[in-house]
Structure 1
């Protein structure tokens, strides 16, 4: 297989759930640029407008508003895409919750917030993966890509947050670690159906509006001496969606500039 075919995803039907955040926008953009058939699912108020801007890059783009935690919503959305396009080649699960109280210190955190975050960050990935895997089993192939975090691999260094009032809470690390566990389970379970399941674990990402002092402090903990920018997320997701990764499954692709090796 030549190089162009290895990374060519123009014939794929890609379902991207969660695309209105900084990383999701980059996923949507690179998929649109590839020429694939792209279905964007989200529950954000600006989802439709953003989808329209993506559609200007690729007319084969469609938007579905859905709640990823609602079983009926997810089942109906997956059935709609499969029936309309005949297949779902790639599922990208890229969603997370930051409800009120998310950034409270551990000793002040509340069970309601914990449960809400787990419901979105982990349970919803189980739900969408379950429904899409049924389609992929029938068609005999597929790629599921779950977005985790470097904090699913290593514990966050709380010192970097200083007195900002922000932190990386226990529920975030726990849910993202759970995503990696779910990914490995599904890779083992679905492998016989030629379905690959992998996760992407981004490190700290600077979308361009992060306080410079924080960026400088965070960067001292990264061998490449910088936070990730948006462009850094495009390559890994295309790799996992394409035939270039056809023998890669159950893996966590850590995109952190080397942060996790220190």
Structure 2
């Protein structure tokens, strides 16, 4: 099986190649590309691969521009940090839609669906695509969080939360009216529960609300400095590897 990877984050591409090699020893990585332009060129000039792993947000735009310029006949597995493009992805040869950060089990399941689809055309047996179809419905997101402060339980609406952050190994909420609360969920659990179009994980310590961002500045070492409308305990910096994804999120949400 010849596989090409279209992914502009080098660490993610490297991790994906490692997992593919472990799960499919007979597979051959026929190419790795980081942009729409490079992907279109190789797909136009060379033979079609057997499978494509494709990120949606690339260095020069959304990957769907590739489909407008070249006909892709093989299955595509989309790996992305955004959940709002699933309907469009399934119109473009998508056999699976994996949200980052992905695991080995996510990739294993994607290969299972690819092989199941291949068997369908070879044996004319309908594959079970229920998991894939379920992804057409956007996941439910939390509208509030239960907090405990001053010996009382109350709820904080997500729309009133400027950011979530980690402080002294505890997960905290900072509201737009500058109140701070502690919650029991980890930051990973919260990131999975809130809307990916509304909140962005800028680093390991902070998950910020789009509505709370006042401005973004360039910082040294190609980092970004994010300033919120409320003061945070720490300076919010985004590393250069994540800067493009963050700016794309701000532009395309």
TM-score with structure 2 setting the length: 0.32
TM-score with structure 1 setting the length: 0.31
Larger-gyration structure (1/2)? 2
